[in-house]
Structure 1
Amino acid sequence: MRRLRNRTRGQTSYYHLISRTVDGEKLLGDPEKEFFLELITQVADFSGIQVIAYSVMSDHSHVLVEVPPIEGEYSDSEIVARYQKLYPEPTNALPYTVEELAELLEENQSEGQAIRAHLSRRMGDPSYFMKSVKQRFTSWFNQKYDRYGPVWGDRFTSVLVEGKSWPLQVVTAYIDLNSVRMGLVEDPGQYLYAGYAQAKNGNPEAQAGYRALGVDFDVYEKLLASSKETDEVLKDRERMALVLTEGNAEVSIQTALRFKIRYFNEGKVLGSPDFVENHAKAFARNPKRERKAHPMHGADWKGLTVGTGLRMNLFS
């Protein structure tokens, strides 16, 4: 399995994870979206990862996660508790009941040691998180529709996000407005397969994710608001996308977020210049090559930068 190249280990980190269906097929209807959301919660509980925001569409998904630092070993009791969340029943790959697993770990013989190492490797890792979600979904989907073959396209893409309030707010707003950009709803609170609508409807798990933003919910919601400017700009989306890409104009952040923006999907690292430069250097294939933070254009992003110098078709 290919691992995240922008993986951090000694600190809490945040990732915007994007997955797309094979060939962009619109494979996910309402039942599939509901099951995908169940899997996100289930696998996150096992992994110890906090889901902050999400949006599941018919052909792709966005998930913003908080990943805890990797520190020391997990206790056997914690491994058993997490195992029970992901494997309430034995499987072919892990044919142990919860009681059998606890006994093997306590005996601490070769089999128990191997299982402990296997499960521990999968905890607190966004690569394993996405792999588990997508594999389980594919198995369920193919069985449901009596088909075989992949459901998802190439491996997921990721953007490392600085763990400060402003970067997290902006990325979350971009995810929450996904359904609006796609033309499915006018109000993001109407799209039930996203964290924002779930939080508005009182879902405690969805509401818990927004606490990571470090601001009151109503303060964050200002990023989702439309305006007269938004209506005017979007009357000629194609022309304005070109203008914004070329850096010839700026619009409000609220308006800019209603465009598809490559910074959020392909920027590699997103945050303040110092954060981006430090991590871009650490993750570079060629450490001798100079790495710099690239300012985001099209709006006053309040100092946000990305780790790649994207130029073409930034907005669409």
Structure 2
Amino acid sequence: RFTQWFNRQKGRKGALWEERFKSVLVEGADEALATMAGYIDLNPVRAGLVDDPKDYRWCGYAEATSGSRRAQRGLRAIIAGGEHVAESKTKLHQALAKYRVWLFGQGEEREGTTPAGQPLRRGFKREDVLAVVAARGRLAVPDYLRLKVRYFADGAILGVRSFVDCVFRACRTRFGPQRKDGARRMQGLQSELFTVRDLQRRVIA
């Protein structure tokens, strides 16, 4: 209402604070979907807000990495070329890794500079792209630490398999008679860390 009043007072038209909301209908398969997703996820990098899209919590890739089921389904659909997630054979950790490699390849900084000395296109440094490719798109455990992995709050016991099993045996009476061992591999993390609790839901919160 303020905008309408202001426009009447000033004899102007259109939005006052920002441009109007825009929407684009995107084909949900193959290159179109992946290109649009990459454009959105790379925006914070090209704007200089973050060096890695996983650190920008408002983009789809960061949401998927941090555990959003909805974002994860979308990312798996992108990797599957629009194929229905239920029919896709791509596992989540594979989809996350594959998309990360593709994203860094698409977002590499364009060589050359403008007359003002700025890069022709902001993006990832060549060495960062090569590092992601070398890691096959997998994130290191310290990266997950920053993503508030639920295991670190609710896992009860955290360490390598031998440590978790040792503590389990020392506290055997605290567990049910059906429990044979203690160590449970952390789901969603490509690491050698184990916990005593087998979390099934909201692993990364």
TM range (shorter): 0.3 to 0.5
| TM-score, normalised by the number of residues in structure 1 | 0.25
Higher relative contact order (CA 8 A, sep 6+): 1
Return the TM-score normalized by structure 2.
0.37
Higher strand share: 1
- Flag the structure with larger Rg: 2
